[in-house]
Amino acid sequence: MQNRGSRFVPLACVIAGVVAGASVSLLLSHTGGGASVPRAHAATPHARAPRDATQERAHLAGERRRALAAHAAEPVDASWAPAAARTIARDLRAIPPAALRAPFRVAGVDCRTTRCVATLEWPSYDAARESFRAVIQQRSVQNRCSTFMLLDEPSDTTSAYESELLFDCHRD
């Protein structure tokens, strides 16, 4: 089955940080390999002007909303979704502690037909920032899923923090 409507960046690991005063948003997208490319600052002959911090935060939040809406609209494939959810949860829990700078908990995984959302919890936003790269780069579902995660800085960075890790999976 083809990956329909994917909004994730193909074959690249993307890290975009948007800083404006004390506000920070972090995005990481990964497809199981590839080079690192700053999203908003990629050098291309016809690159558009970089967005300011407010515009970039709004764009990234829109990308996440669209991905979550696409996930919610997808029907559940009972022959694939339960096994994919178990695999993703297992693979996330199997990330070696040495690869993480801060521990996290898998609160749940919801899979549909080609998309999954894992809800992850950290002791704080600061802890999430320290470990999200290892989380997003884990090899899940036979390394056939693109992943997308956006971390929005809360007003209190020391309180418990939750974020969604989105998976867009290629199926045969």
| For the chain, domain boundaries | 13-169
Categorize the per-residue pLDDT at 74 as very low, low, confident or very high, splitting at 50, 70 and 90.
very high
Query: What one-letter code names the amino acid at 71?
Result: H
What is residue 76's predicted lDDT score, i.e. its pLDDT? Answer: 97
Residue 106 has pLDDT above 90, yes or no: yes
> Cα 83 from chain centroid?
20
pTM reported for the whole predicted model: 0.71
What single DSSP character describes residue 2? -
In angstroms, the CA 21 to CA 170 distance is 39
Scanning 4-155, the segments in alpha helix (DSSP H) are 53-73, 81-93, 125-136
What is residue 12's predicted lDDT score, i.e. its pLDDT? Answer: 29
Q: How many alpha carbons fall within 13 Å on the CB side of residue 77?
A: 17
